Each structure stands twice: as structure tokens, then as C-alpha cells.
Amino acid sequence: GSWRRSLSTQAPSHLEILGQRFSADDYTNITPAIISKTNKQLHLKPNHPLSTLRGLIESAYPDFTHASSLSPLVTPFQNFDELSFAADHPGRAVTDSYYANRNMMLRTHTSAHEVEMFRKGETKWLLTADVYRRDEIDASHYPVFHQVEGARIFDQTPNGMKEVEESNEYLSSLLSKSNILIEDVPHISEANPVQPGHDPLFSAALCQNLKLSLNHLMWKVFGEAARGSSGSEPLKVRWIEAFFPFTSPSYEVEVFFQGKWLEILGSGIIRQATLDTAGVQDKVGWAFGLGLERIAMVLYSVPDIRLFWSEDPRFLGQFEQGKIQTFKPYSKYPSCFKDVSFWTPQASAFHENDFCDIVRDTAGDLVEGVQRIDSFLHPKTNRTSLCYRVNYRSMDRSLSNEEINHVQNQVVDRLKAQFGVEIR
Ligand code: FA5
Ligand code: MG
């Protein structure tokens, strides 16, 4: 779409990501700001809250394989097709995902490695990694975040069924010692069906295994770790029917924590097509994918998602590997708002994420938020007038008005050069 124009003006013909070179094409939209995040591996950085949270989750699955250093570069085929995403799924759009070019992208979720893990013969595994999505800018959205994928598959035989039942008994006994209140939906419903070719009894037992396993994990993370096992109020967890192209039935889990329901993860019974693609035969199982930042923000009381990327010792120095500690905010520097109003070219497909990426790439983590404050379609010229307000604030220092004006001017220049907009 609209990025194509940028190639003729200033985008390079090649880009280098993690030592690999890619030739740019009409899909290329990964910015240097994003490339600079690809080698950070916050989930492995000692003492970092995301690393502690990864460790805590791994400790709930001691007999699983733990993977955590797979490259974020995957093919669109791995990220989407192998997982039965429709050809026209919106997640594939260049407005939503980051592409090196048509053949290579940054994974949008850890599910992109499911087939690879199963193909290696893994039957119970966790995978922690950075994932990339083009998105809005505010305190809880960042174009890079971290997910943990977990999966377990069993033989589709009476012995496999016995293994599921034994695991269910074991997990139930662990849970009986917890103080947890679970709001559940039926395992299987008309809208959330058993897959064709699956034995309904086996599928129900697998759903039960998935739910017990994740309820236990929620207790480890939000019950035991966050408030000690003696908290008097029960931990509230609720299960909600969901839809993912690569699982059925599918569920989301929400946890009631600090007065709010928090979406934690997506999960479900793995579609047989995924296992077939991996060359795995006669097995069935479950998978889940959870986001680390949202959990870490509430567990550690971190008010802004950008802080996870901070190198400031006043942030990093507050944490110790394996410990959940409440973050003590240091003084906030003043923020500075700048507005820009412009006409988009006629019939252009200008997307809000295009604007956000220019701001991020120009201002880096100096941008705290972007808000569209006006939008107006001119009935005669068919052009749209947009006004965006950018909120600049450094987490580590005071910004001068001069410095911010300079950044904002660069944003405006790039807006003109890359999208041919007319400033109002
Ligand atoms: C997925 O990414 C699926 N791959 C999850 C899955 C795995 C389903 C295996 C079935 C089987 P979703 O886009 O909902 O689904 O993201 C999963 C979790 O990642 C969310 O519940 C949330 O905790 C986190 N997450 C999603 N988007 C963001 C975001 N922009 N910022 C922070 N966390 C996010
Ligand atoms: Mg979701």
C-alpha cells in the first residue's frame, strides 16, 4: 500500500536484521527503530521483570522443554498459513504486521513456531519470545512484546487417554491446595465444537487438562507469587469461549486482579491440520499463548510499557531475578504535546499505524502516546483531513522545547516525503 511510495524517496533497497540481508520490496515496512529491538531478548536479561516472569512460568512446567532463543524472522507461511489463517486474514496486512519483504516477516505471535517444535518431535514444550505487531501508541501498547507459547500432545490411543486422566488427577490435587475461584464455560459447545475426527470424550478430557494446567499456572503467578499462598480472598479466574484459526475448541483466560479483569491468554485444542503439517501422526493436544507484559505490568506495578525497554539503572536496579517486587516510580519528567494537521492525498490508504511508525522511528521511546484528535472527509475533494496529537516525554530526563520541535519537524518532513501529505 502506502509504503510503496516511500521506496522511491528514501527507503533503502536492502535491510539487515540480525545479520541477515533482505532486499526490500513493496511489503517492506520494518523501521530501524524496530530492527534495534530484535537483539534485545528482554526475556533472557538477568534480573529483568520479564525474565523473572518467564522463569516463574517455566517453573510451573518443570518437565517441559523450555525454548527461548528462536529468531523472530519467520516466513508468512509459518506465521499464518501453517496455522490455517485465511488468505484474506487482516493480520496479514502490511498495516498490521512487520515485513522485511514479501517472503520474510517478524513473527506476530509465538504460535508461528508450533509446527517447527512439533516437527522436532517435541511433545511438551514452552517457548518464550519477542513478537511484533504494528499498533497504536499508548501506555499499554508497544510494537514489540513477549509471549510464552505452551503445548502438550498425547497419543490418540487408550493409553494416551489414560495419560490425560492421570495428569488431570495430579493437577486437580495440586489445585485443591489453592484458593482459587474459577468461572468456567462448558468444554465444548455448538459455537466452539470438537474437531471432526476427534473423539468427543478424548477432546473433553484434553480441554479439562488444558484448563487444569492453566488454572494451576494462574495460581502460581497471581496467587502464590503475587500475594503468598495465604491470601484470604480467592483468586478469580474466568474462561471465555474464543476463536483462533488453529484451535478448536478455543478459550481465553481472564484473571481478576487489582480490581479489573485482565486478558491473559488464548488457548485451545490444536487443529489436526497443524499437527499433520508437522508430520505428527496419531496425536492430539492443546496449546496456549500468553502475553508477558500485561502480567508484568500488574504484578510489578509498572505504569508504562516503555519502561521494560529502559536502560535506566533507576528502573533496572529495582529488580532481582526470581523476585516480584513493586516498582517505585521515580519522578516523571514533564510531557510536551505537539499537534500536526494534514490532508492525505486523494484515494490514499493512509493508516494510523503508518503515522505511529514514523513517530516511533523518529522519536524512539521519547513518544509516550499518539492520539487522533480530528478526522474530516472533504465531500468534494474526497481528501481526508487528519489531526494527530503526539505526547513526548522522556522517562530518563527533561526535554527542551527546541529538541522536541526538532523531532516534530522531522516527523512532519517524513510524513510529507513518504506519504505526500499536505500540511494544513
Ligand atoms: C495469540 O497471539 C494466539 N497466538 C494465542 C494462542 C496460542 C491461541 C495457542 C491458541 C493457541 P492473541 O493475539 O489474543 O492470541 O494474544 C495472546 C495474548 O498476548 C493476549 O491474551 C495478551 O495477553 C497478549 N497480547 C496480545 N496483544 C498484545 C499487545 N498489543 N500488547 C501486549 N500484550 C498483548
Ligand atoms: Mg486476544
Indicate the residue among 263, 283, 316 that finishes a domain.
316
Amino acid 214: pLDDT: 98
- Quick one: 312 and 336 in the same domain? no
Closest ligand 1 atom to Cα of 252: 21
| Residue range 4-20: mean pLDDT, rounded | 73
- Quick one: 209 and 286 in the same domain? yes
β-strand pairing of 14-17 with 20-23: antiparallel
| Residue range 266-295: mean pLDDT, rounded | 97
Phi-psi label, residue 282: left if phi above 0, alpha if psi -120 to 50, beta otherwise: left
Residues 235-249: pLDDT tens digits? 999 999 999 999 999
- Quick one: 252 and 378 in the same domain? no
Q: Give the range among 77-86, 266-275, 294-303 with minimum mean pLDDT.
A: 294-303
Q: How sure is the predictor about 230, in pLDDT bands with cuts at 50, 70 and 90? A: low
For residues 376 and 385, is the Cβ–Cβ distance under 8 A?
yes
For residues 108 and 97, is the Cβ–Cβ distance under 8 A?
yes
β-strand pairing of 20-23 with 65-67: unpaired
| Residue range 112-124: mean pLDDT, rounded | 98
Looking at residue 412, which CATH number applies to its domain?
3.30.70.380
- Quick one: 384 and 279 in the same domain? no
- Give the structural domain span for 116: 32-72+107-316
> Which residues, judged by CB distance below 6 Å to any ligand atom, belong to the binding site of ligand 1?
109, 111, 133, 135, 141, 145, 147, 149, 244, 247, 263-268, 287-291, 293-294
- Quick one: 242 and 339 in the same domain? no
Query: Is 303's pLDDT higher than 80?
Result: yes
More confident residue, 226 or 325: 325
Residues 133-163: pLDDT tens digits? 998 888 889 999 999 999 999 999 999 999 9
Looking at residue 310, which CATH number applies to its domain?
3.30.930.10
Q: Which ligand approaches the C-alpha of residue 290 most closely?
A: 1
Query: Is 265's pLDDT higher than 70?
Result: yes
Residue among 140, 146, 265, 305 whose CB has most ligand 1 atoms within 8 A, to mutate: 265
Amino acid 131: pLDDT: 98
- Alpha-carbon distance 110 to 132, whole Å? 10
| Residue listed under C-alpha cell 493508516 | 351
Q: Give the range among 115-119, 137-141, 153-157, 357-361 with minimum mean pLDDT.
A: 137-141
- Alpha-carbon distance 387 to 164, whole Å? 56
Indicate the residue among 290, 316, 342 that finishes a domain.
316
Which residue's C-alpha comes closest to atom 10 of ligand 1?
Answer: 267
Q: Which ligand approaches the C-alpha of residue 108 most closely?
A: 1
- Quick one: 190 and 295 in the same domain? yes
- Quick one: 246 and 132 in the same domain? yes
More confident residue, 123 or 12: 123
Residues 368-379: pLDDT tens digits? 999 999 999 888
| CA 31 to the chain's CA centroid | 18
> Where are any strands of DSSP class E within 107-246?
124-132, 144-155, 180-183, 235-241
| Residue range 300-324: mean pLDDT, rounded | 94
Measured CA to CA in angstroms, residue 391 lies from 73, 100, 334, 373, 404 at distances of 31, 29, 10, 12, 10
CB atoms near residue 335 (< 10 Å)? 13
